[in-house]
Amino acid sequence: MPEQRRGRRIAMTSEEVDAFLAEQHTCRVATVGRDGPHATPLWYAWHGGALWLTSVVRSLRWADLRHDPRIAVVVDAGTAYGELRGVELRGRVEVVGEVPRTGEPVPELDGPERLFADRYTGGTVVHDGRHAWLRLVPDRITSWDFRKLV
């Protein structure tokens, strides 16, 4: 993955990126569809160097990504200028597991599903037959932490 060239002074280290993504809860996903860009918030899991997203398979986001798997995802935090920090991940998603997800054993999903369940559903892994898993192994990560300017 290429090194971040701009904003190196405020860039997070890879350890800081891992900690930040493990700490935050909501990302913003941008896709490109036939009618242009589309952005939506989603919960996610950061596991094994990949961002794992679960999406309703009858959604505009899913249709966009099936047509064009390119994606940009932003996770950010902070209110005041000197507190702003975040990570942008870009690349292409791939579907992992059955569509929609009903619980068929998929070893690749054991970690992300457990992490997702612990973070969002009280420890219960949910297979509702409406969602499916997407994995983003980023081609590019850009980060910023304005607290480093102090």
Buried b (16+ CB within 10 A) or exposed e, 83-103: ebbbbbbbbebebbbeebbee
pLDDT at 144: 96
Q: Write the pLDDT tens digit of every residue in 68-97.
A: 999 999 999 999 999 999 999 999 999 999
Buried b (16+ CB within 10 A) or exposed e, 19-48: ebbeebeebebbbbeeeeebeeebebbbbe
132 by DSSP, 3-state: which?
strand
- Taking the C-alpha atoms of residue 132 and residue 105, their distance in angstroms, rounded to an integer, is 13
Q: Write the pLDDT tens digit of every residue in 6-58.
A: 678 899 999 999 999 999 999 999 999 999 999 999 999 999 999 999 999 99
pLDDT at 4: 62
pLDDT at 61: 97
